[in-house]
Amino acid sequence: MSYLSKTISTLCCDIASMHDHSDPIGADASYDDVTEFVVEQLRKMPVFFSRPILLATAVFGVSRLLLEGSLFHSRPPHRRCLQVENWRRSRFATSRDLIRFYTSLVVLALYSRPATSARRMEGDG
């Protein structure tokens, strides 16, 4: 798996675990389908949209390399969550927009899952 693929996969899984309230522990959750959905949406985008997003994702993945000596996907989960939150609250619009982009797609995929939809409906009834 390439560096960019690992970054996207880890980012999607972290965002999904932050928003998935069906498994409070999150230990048993698998978000491969969510990641695949996000990757598929990136593939479907015109190049002039997807390239800047992939470039910003690559920058996100290496942004702590000089300061902490690690890539995003190889950092401990609590440090990754802090990095995502820092980018979400960044003063730079590009950073905030990147996290918003991934969060939107991840949440869409997460809550479009058949099992998640069924659990929500059971809770409503």
Question: What pTM, to 2 d.p., does this model score?
Answer: 0.85
Domain annotation covers residue 89: yes
Structural domain including 87 reads 3-19+30-124
Residue 74 Cα distances to 28, 57, 102, 123, angstroms:
20, 15, 19, 37
Domain annotation covers residue 25: no
| Number of independent structural domains in the chain | 1
Name the residue among 119, 23, 108, 105 with its Cα closest to residue 57.
105
Each residue's pLDDT, cut to its tens digit, for the chain (125 residues) gives 799 999 999 999 999 999 987 765 555 578 999 999 999 999 999 999 999 999 999 999 999 898 889 999 999 999 999 999 999 999 999 999 999 999 999 999 998 988 654 444 445 54
Domain annotation covers residue 39: yes
What does the buried/exposed string (b/e) look like for 1-20 if buried means 16 or more CB atoms within 10 Å of the residue's CB?
A: eeeeeebbbbbbbbbbbeeb
Domain annotation covers residue 62: yes
